[in-house]
Amino acid sequence: MTVPKTGILVLDSSDPEPLARFYAALLGGTVEPAPGDPDLLLVPSPTGIALAIHRDHGQAPPSWPRPEDSQQAHLRILVAPEALDEAEREAISLGARPVAAELNGTRLDRRSDVRRCTDPAGHPFVIAASPGVSR
């Protein structure tokens, strides 16, 4: 018999409260304290995205998108194809920074259905068009 499990993506941050508010606003969710852990904030969203922000005083932002580095992990936010530009503008208005992976001045990813960003603490995420998502 398999033990019941659930999962959550946890991002480290030296200042978790503003980052949790950023993702709550971006995902239409809320910020809630984690029971029994004062260094963890939960960011549940109505679409089922499970995200948490953990206080880590020594956290350093990832170096992505350098071609020689891997993203390691990233959050992929799915939107209706016709809402991609609007979703990107919303993320940037909340404090996201758009990024483009380049090597010797040549853009590595020319896909028009994915927008690469970092959150205010430097964690990578993408906003991706998905035909299965409706407005």
**pLDDT for the residue numbered 95:** 97
- Taking the C-alpha atoms of residue 100 and residue 132, their distance in angstroms, rounded to an integer, is 26
Task: Tokens 């659930």: give the residue.
Answer: 6
Q: What is the mean pLDDT of each run of 10 residues along the chain (135 residues)?
A: 74 94 96 91 89 89 66 80 92 92 56 86 88 74
**pLDDT for the residue numbered 59:** 83
- Taking the C-alpha atoms of residue 37 and residue 79, their distance in angstroms, rounded to an integer, is 32
Question: For 1-60, CATH number?
Answer: 3.30.720.120
Q: What are the extents of the domains in the chain?
A: 1-60, 61-135
**pLDDT for the residue numbered 64:** 66
Question: Which distant-in-sequence residues (6+ apart) come within 8 Å of 39 by Cβ?
Answer: 16, 54, 55
State which amino acid sits at residue 32. Answer: E
**pLDDT for the residue numbered 105:** 58
**pLDDT for the residue numbered 66:** 63
**pLDDT for the residue numbered 100:** 76
**pLDDT for the residue numbered 78:** 86
**pLDDT for the residue numbered 41:** 96
Task: Tokens 């991002």: give the residue.
Answer: 11
**pLDDT for the residue numbered 69:** 60
